[in-house]
Structure 1
């Protein structure tokens, strides 16, 4: 077996249109949306009667993708995790961007909140974590120099 590539990261969100707006504001391109359900989806997810809507978004370089999904049935039994960065298993996506301050300003109207502060590591990079849709932590990295 040979690993070919990482295809995408999936995130379940409550408000699909708002989550799409968040990632489009970050600079991703909406590739498409579709309803999901049926026997194949039930088998894949081990959820009986799965009904969902998904959206695929792509990074400008065409290599990274994020799948956003809203599950209509069956309903979740607990809310999304809203834990500190140090909690094992908490999703964290990181993107390289041109300017951390500009990116945060664009994301703030879409619900983004800084987790800590924008931190600079020597003269190499500026880095910030923000909370995105469903509490997912999004890393914003600005390469310096």
Structure 2
């Protein structure tokens, strides 16, 4: 049997309470709404293990078309847990990182949309200027502006 090869990372998914607010927030960052649809019935539940379900889904895409963020708002079954405000060192914690070209300008706009700074903006070895914010619904978002050249060993975390 031939070993499977990874082709691409298709998308990252986040369950949200308000799809409209999440779409607006991620559009402010620079993602574009690719499509919005209702997914319902038994077939999606066979994939997720939740049985019969009804979920409104919005697929957001980066301007280069390579990265996608799937936002889901469950109508049924109801959401059973909420990890959005857990500390960043919690197991399985979710954080998205975006590389941007003008961190301060974007940060000003996001703070006006109820985002909150987690710590402060830092300079990482003159390679990145970066920070964490809590965005819409308390989601942890990393913003990084590249300052210098990257080597193959540099990783933004």
TM-score (norm 1): 0.93
Shift of 1:135: 2.7
Equivalent pair of 1:52/1:71 in contact (CA under 8 Å)? yes
Structure 1 stretch displaced more, 50-59 or 103-112: 103-112
Which of the numbers 76, 79, 88 marks the counterpart of 1:76? Answer: 79
Number of aligned residue pairs: give it. Answer: 145
- Structure 1 residue 90 and structure 2 residue 69: aligned? no
Which of the numbers 136, 141, 144 marks the counterpart of 1:138? Answer: 141
CA RMSD between the two structures: 1.3
**2: CA distance between counterparts of 1:79 and 1:2?**
34
Structure 1 stretch displaced more, 117-126 or 24-33: 117-126
Structure 1 stretch displaced more, 5-14 or 110-119: 110-119
Which of the numbers 95, 116, 119 marks the counterpart of 1:116? Answer: 119
**2: CA distance between counterparts of 1:78 and 1:39?**
22
Which blocks of at least 5 consecutive residues in structure 2 are unaligned?
Answer: 149-157
Structure 1 stretch displaced more, 27-36 or 37-46: 37-46
Partner of 2:26: 23
**2: CA distance between counterparts of 1:110 and 1:49?**
35
**2: CA distance between counterparts of 1:96 and 1:78?**
30
Partner of 1:105: 108
Shift of the 18–88 alpha-carbon distance from structure 1 to 2, 3 Å rule, reads: same
Partner of 2:8: 5
Pick the structure with greater CA Rg.
2
Shift of 1:133: 3.1
RCO higher in structure (CA 8 A, sep ≥6): 1
